[in-house]
Amino acid sequence: MTGSRLDLDSDQMGRDLVALVLTVVELLRQLMERQAIRRIDQGDLSDEQVDEIGTTLMLLDQRMTELCEQHGVRPEDLNLDLGPLGTLLPKR
């Protein structure tokens, strides 16, 4: 059996890793957003807390956009296709 050399493109691997990390961060951001909306709908939060959550979620969304642009990743690249299970991220 002869050994074969596997050529790895380190730049592509780096972009793929960045996309994977950003995908996980986006998934967590969306989960936090949904939880915050549930708490707001339940009336568990003061007006000040609602304002703070809204500001925080808006800043997180802006930062995600900046990170995607900085690393050349499109937001749609973050939504991994899981085959028969559908896509990883819910539609916004």
Environment class of residue 15 by beta-carbon count within 10 Å: exposed (0-12), middle (13-18) or buried (19+)?
Answer: middle
pTM of the model: 0.72
CA end-to-end span of the chain? 51
Rounded CA separation 36/50 (Å)? 8
- Domain map (residue ranges) of the chain: 13-73
Mean pLDDT by 10 residues, the chain (92 residues): 62 83 89 91 92 93 92 84 75 60
**Degrees, nearest 5: CA angle 67-52-48:** 175
Q: Report the 10 Å Cβ neighbour count for 73.
A: 19
pLDDT score at 62: 93
pLDDT score at 4: 59
